[in-house]
Amino acid sequence: MNATGALGRYGEDLAARLLAEAGMTVLARNWRCGRAGEIDIVARDGDTVVVCEVKTRRASPFQHPMAALTPAKAERLRRLAECWLERTGGPPPGGVRIDLVGVMLPRRGAPTVEHARGVA
């Protein structure tokens, strides 16, 4: 695994831990749907399925990880959520929500992890 892959994996590990601590159940990680792409984390929050995009960045004056969700990325996540539902038996009673977890890794100290619910 290269440095970028390791950074992303670390961020996903932190995000999965945060979601679990918030009472969610992680159902899948790095779930792929053919050419449509990959969902970083699929979780259940009560009776809602949560499709979670994780963005990890090293501390920088440039783009914050929470700003990385473009309209095109949001549309891709909606298509991936539909694919998940088709393959797992349809929508749950609580529907589907798309969340974003941003992980910022400072040069020193603990990472900052932010969770935004219902971003797309």
Tens-digit pLDDT profile for residues 75-120: 999 999 999 999 998 889 999 999 999 999 888 989 999 999 999 8
101, 104, 98, 61: which is closest to 81 by C-alpha?
98
Q: What is the third-level CATH fold of 3-116?
A: Trna Endonuclease; Chain: A, domain 1 (3.40.1350)
pLDDT at 6: 84
Q: Which residues pair with 58 in a beta bridge?
A: 105
Two tokens, residue 87: 């393959």
* Euclidean distance between CA atoms 43 and 20, whole angstroms: 9
Tokens 């393959």 -> residue: 87
Look up residue 30 and give its amino acid. Answer: N
Domain ranges in the chain are 3-116
Hunting for tokens 């945060």 — which residue is that?
Answer: 18
